[in-house]
Structure 1
Amino acid sequence: MILASTVLQTAHGTFDVATHGADGPERCLSISQGELGKDGTAVRLHSSCVFGEALLACDCDCGPQLATALDEINRRGAGLVVYLYQEGRGAGLDLKIRGMERQRLEGINSYQAYSSLGLPRDLRDYSLAAVAMKDLKVSKNVTLLSNNPSKRGAMEKLGYRIVDQVAMSYQVSRRAYDYLLMKQSEGMHTLDFDKIDFVD
């Protein structure tokens, strides 16, 4: 159900924002614009990343992806970002930081760091996104704004049909190159490096 809602003016456009919840204490945030019931509505499932979004970490692309998704929705005049509080691919902030320290000390990537901590690569649960999309009466036929194949699978499990998947193009620090390469080679993300602008 929708728990609270308002209208927010941002650098990316004006959006309706709302919090959503079900039976438990978990919450998610919807950031939307326009008519969401039409086939092909643009949807992004986005997990929180305090380092990439608030602190602008140079080796992370979460902030640029979120900004690009909001820009794309504003360009289309309609669409939705479901913002899920799933820091560290669902592992939580403590384990995320421990993994980052393993990466820093041992020169390994984030998948390897999670494995060394006895964690799977990805612990995220997208079921709360279905609550938000139902609340907002989102079409069952959507355009997915994501490079991540697991998000496509999650949307399909939630009962949505992906009519198009738009690989995100954005600007990011050169220090994120190895991280993106890992996501492409090991995570099978549909990244086109010719469409990503790496800057100093």
Structure 2
Amino acid sequence: MTDALTSATPGSPVSFEVSTNVPTTHGLFEMRAYRDLVTSAEHVAVIAKTPDGRAPADGALVRVHSECLTGEAFGSLKCECGPQLDAALDTIAAEGGVVVYLRGHEGRGIGLINKLKAYRLQEDGLDTLDANLALGLPADSREYGGAAGILADLGITRVRLLSNNPEKRRQLVEHGITVDSLVPLVVGISAQNAGYLDTKRDRMGHTLPSHLDTGAA
């Protein structure tokens, strides 16, 4: 693990910038900031020690989480991103692990304005995938090389991935990270996002239940 301020391992897709301890409503975390040398995005590794006080190592529980301003800051019910982030932080606070928070991934990589344009098309009946395509944009353009580089900097080459998305697993493995298992993260389901989650399951291959309990009476 790199400890100096601002350094890059030769061949790494990220450069380490700074580490600091941050108390949060979820617990006390070490936050390590990285710059993506491919996209120039700024990413953060949120790290919680294990109950015995050790730093996460191989086999750690890891969440690779894409930035979602609408869901995390504004509480949008059109997705489950905010509850997923909260649940991941609570889980690593209790068990130890890492949340790799990837900026520049808004709207599966299309950006905030295009994401809101896609939302508008969804009001006319398109699903989340077709709305992106109707804008002439990829259904999902996210790339996880930066996440793999961050994990490698932390000395973690094998993880239990807290995710429902097999594509994250595939890309991490492609970038040299062994994924022992996908640990389900099924939270934040509501009547407002049930169709969105159906599309993720049926058209994008996410491992979600065939029946989603929205909590509606």
Q: TM-score scaled by structure 2?
A: 0.83
Judged with a 3 Å threshold, the aligned counterparts in structure 2 of structure 1 residues 171 and 91 are, in CA distance, closer, same or farther, namely closer
2:122 to 103, 106, 121: 103
In the alignment, structure 1 residue 30 sits paired with structure 2 residue 50: no
In the TM superposition, what is the alpha-carbon distance from 1:59 to its structure 2 partner?
1.7
1:188 to 169, 191, 205: 205
What amino acid sits opposite 2:25 in the alignment? A
1:57-109 Cα deviation digits (max 9, x unpaired): 11210001111111111221x211111111110111121111111111x2111
In the TM superposition, what is the alpha-carbon distance from 1:144 to its structure 2 partner?
0.4
When the two structures are aligned, how many residues end up with a matched partner? Answer: 196
Q: Would the aligned equivalents of 1:170 and 1:196 in 2 still touch at CA under 8 Å? A: no
Partners of 1:199 and 1:146 in 2: CA distance: 25
1:149 to 166, 169, 173: 166
Residue 21 of structure 1 corresponds to which residue in structure 2?
35
In the TM superposition, what is the alpha-carbon distance from 1:196 to its structure 2 partner?
5.9
1:129 to 119, 123, 147: 147
- RMSD, aligned CA: 1.9
Tell me the SS of whatever aligns to 2:120: helix
Query: Which ranges in structure 2 are unaligned for 5 or more consecutive residues?
Result: 1-14, 50-54
In the TM superposition, what is the alpha-carbon distance from 1:23 to its structure 2 partner?
3.7
Residue 18 of structure 2 corresponds to which residue in structure 1?
4
Residue 40 of structure 1 corresponds to which residue in structure 2?
59
Sequence identity, in percent? 36
Partners of 2:216 and 2:97 in 1: CA distance: 28
Partners of 1:145 and 1:71 in 2: CA distance: 12
Q: Would the aligned equivalents of 1:20 and 1:131 in 2 still touch at CA under 8 Å? A: no
Judged with a 3 Å threshold, the aligned counterparts in structure 2 of structure 1 residues 195 and 88 are, in CA distance, closer, same or farther, namely closer
1:159 to 172, 176, 182: 176
1:93-146 Cα deviation digits (max 9, x unpaired): 121111111111x211110101111122101111111222122212x2210000
Q: Relative contact order: is structure 1 or structure 2 higher (C-alpha 8 Å, sep ≥ 6)?
A: 1
Q: Would the aligned equivalents of 2:148 and 2:177 in 1 still touch at CA under 8 Å? A: no
What amino acid sits opposite 1:126 in the alignment? Y
What amino acid sits opposite 1:26 in the alignment? A
The structure richer in strand per residue is: 1
Partners of 2:112 and 2:182 in 1: CA distance: 29
Judged with a 3 Å threshold, the aligned counterparts in structure 2 of structure 1 residues 131 and 143 are, in CA distance, closer, same or farther, namely same
